[in-house]
């Protein structure tokens, strides 16, 4: 299998796993509204707590000839085989994953099943349909690299040192994907991204949790001293990067995707409070809601990625600054009270109570 860069890699029946989740649904929006893709999208999602069909209502109605949804668990190999055959799948963009670190500490077995076994099933099916298959893109995380000190960046050659059940399961899936390229010649690419934020993010993650709690006058929980640092990537920029990799990335290669926006958690919380105070102008000082809580076990101190490879090879760079991206994100949640209300199910509220009291 050549490692030469392939321009304009073409495929017609793209399976997107986890397409009802945060990044997956944004990617499907990108495919139909911002990319040059003209084929079909087959969205496979088992609709866990974080999967939401409402994320794609407009796509389902506006592109009904090119968009299909299948409610299937990727761990069910037989049902997945039926989908591969039925739609003649020739490309996969693999988002489906359990992704919340806190949940992985409490129930790691779910992460092993979906993130490792599910990925294995997809690789096996892609291999068995090799005569049609063009590309398997695996979406992963910078958390597989472990924790950084105050200086330096993760590169694509940084050794893996995962510190949570979540990141360990993603590391295992990354290795499986690479092995299927090396051993079987399966055409694959991998991306490891920094923290995403934007529309449709389930409010267990930092930014939407803080936005919604601040709007409701609830405590704003911050782990430890709040000085853990993450690099933040606007989800729209991430989707563009993934598409460039799928179409033009070198086979067998990994690409880091970053946002050039390193921020301490406490500073993000304060920014959200200040922006909401400015928007609402109701006299409330939302910083007073900030509450420091016991730190997460094994909480990595800093993540930051060197994404010069994708800049040089594919001419990609993040367009959204953190400030403008955060403003867009806050406005989206303010303008979508229906979506917010629908995701706040009993299971979500029970999780918040258990996690933060």
pLDDT, tens only, 138-173 = 999 999 999 998 899 999 999 999 999 999 999 999
Residues 98-107: tens digit of each pLDDT: 887 888 999 9
How much of the chain exceeds pLDDT 90, in percent? 85
Q: Could you tell me if 48 and 73 are in contact, meaning their C-beta atoms sit under 8 angstroms apart?
A: no
* Close Cβ partners of 289 (under 8 Å, ≥ 6 residues apart): 213, 214, 217, 218, 219, 220, 273
DSSP state, 171? H
Q: Which of 45, 142, 240, 300 is catalytic?
A: 142
Q: What is the pLDDT of residue 105?
A: 92
pLDDT range class, residue 7, cuts 50, 70, 90: low
Q: What is the pLDDT of residue 3?
A: 44
Q: What is the pLDDT of residue 324?
A: 98
Q: Which of 37, 67, 153, 166 is catalytic?
A: 166
Nearest to 126 by CA among 135, 114, 116, 117: 135
Nearest to 295 by CA among 211, 231, 343, 355: 355
Average pLDDT across the chain, whole number: 94
Nearest to 98 by CA among 132, 50, 143: 50
Residues 183-233: tens digit of each pLDDT: 999 999 999 999 999 999 998 899 999 999 999 999 999 999 999 999 999
Mean pLDDT of 12-38: 98
- pLDDT(2) > 80: no
Residues 337-348: tens digit of each pLDDT: 999 988 877 555
Alpha-carbon distance of 337 to 216, in angstroms, equals 12
Mean pLDDT of 89-118: 93
Domain 13-194+234-260+300-319 matching CATH 3.40.225.10: the answer reads no
Concatenating the DSSP letter of every residue in 272-294 gives: HHHHHHHHH-SS--GGGGEEEEP
Mean pLDDT of 234-252: 98
Give the predicted TM-score (pTM) of the model: 0.93
Residue 221, helix vs strand vs coil:
strand
Please name the helix (run of DSSP H) or strand (run of DSSP E) that holds residue 210, with its range, or none. Answer: helix 206-216
Q: Is 67 left (phi over 0), alpha (psi -120 to 50) or beta?
A: beta
Q: Is 166 a catalytic residue?
A: yes
CB environment 67-90: b (16+ within 10 A), e (fewer): bbbbebbbbebebbeebbeebebb
Domain ranges of the chain: 13-194+234-260+300-319
Q: What is the pLDDT of residue 100?
A: 77
* Close Cβ partners of 97 (under 8 Å, ≥ 6 residues apart): 18, 114, 115, 118, 139, 170, 173
Alpha-carbon distance of 254 to 246, in angstroms, equals 11
- Both tokens of 116, joined, read 């490792």
Q: What SS3 string covers 135-161? A: EEEEEEEHHHHCCCCCCCCECCCCCCC
pLDDT range class, residue 50, cuts 50, 70, 90: confident
Q: Which of 143, 237, 300, 320 is catalytic?
A: 143
Residues 78-88: tens digit of each pLDDT: 999 999 999 99
Residue 67 backbone dihedrals phi, psi, to 5 degrees: -120, 130
Cβ burial of 347 (10 Å; 0-12, 13-18, 19+) is: exposed
- Both tokens of 220, joined, read 């704003």
């Amino acid at each position: 299998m050549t490692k030469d860069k392939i321009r304009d890699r073409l495929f017609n029946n793209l399976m997107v796993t986890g397409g009802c989740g945060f990044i997956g649904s944004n990617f499907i929006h990108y495919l139909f509204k911002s990319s040059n893709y003209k084929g079909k999208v087959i969205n496979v999602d088992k609709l866990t707590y974080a999967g939401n069909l409402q994320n794609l209502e407009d796509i389902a109605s506006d592109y009904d000839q090119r968009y299909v949804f299948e409610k299937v668990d990727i761990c069910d190999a037989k049902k997945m085989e039926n989908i591969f055959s039925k739609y003649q799948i020739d490309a996969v963009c693999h988002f489906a994953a359990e992704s919340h670190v806190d949940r992985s500490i409490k129930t790691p077995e779910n992460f092993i099943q979906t993130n490792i076994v599910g990925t294995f099933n997809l690789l096996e099916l892609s291999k068995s349909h090799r005569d049609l298959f063009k590309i398997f893109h695996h979406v992963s995380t910078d958390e597989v690299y472990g924790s950084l000190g105050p200086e330096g960046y993760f590169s694509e050659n940084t050794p893996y040192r995962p510190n949570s059940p979540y990141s360990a399961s993603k590391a295992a899936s990354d290795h499986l994907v690479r092995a299927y390229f090396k051993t079987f010649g399966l055409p694959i690419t991998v991306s490891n991204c920094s923290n995403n934020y934007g529309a449709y993010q389930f409010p267990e993650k930092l930014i939407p949790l803080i936005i919604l709690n601040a709007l409701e006058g609830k405590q704003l929980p911050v782990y430890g001293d709040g000085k853990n640092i993450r690099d933040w990537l606007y989800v729209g920029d991430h989707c563009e990067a993934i598409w460039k990799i799928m179409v033009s990335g070198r086979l067998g290669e990994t690409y880091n995707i970053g946002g050039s926006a390193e921020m301490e958690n406490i500073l993000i919380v304060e920014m959200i409070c200040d922006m909401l105070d400015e928007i609402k102008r109701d006299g409330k000082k939302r910083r007073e809601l900030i509450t420091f809580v016991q730190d997460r076990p094994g909480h990595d101190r800093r993540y930051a990625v060197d994404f010069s490879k994708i800049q040089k090879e594919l001419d990609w760079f993040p367009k959204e600054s953190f400030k403008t991206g955060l403003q867009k994100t806050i406005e989206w949640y303010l303008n979508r009270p229906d979506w917010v209300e629908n995701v706040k199910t009993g299971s979500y509220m029970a999780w918040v109570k258990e996690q933060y009291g």
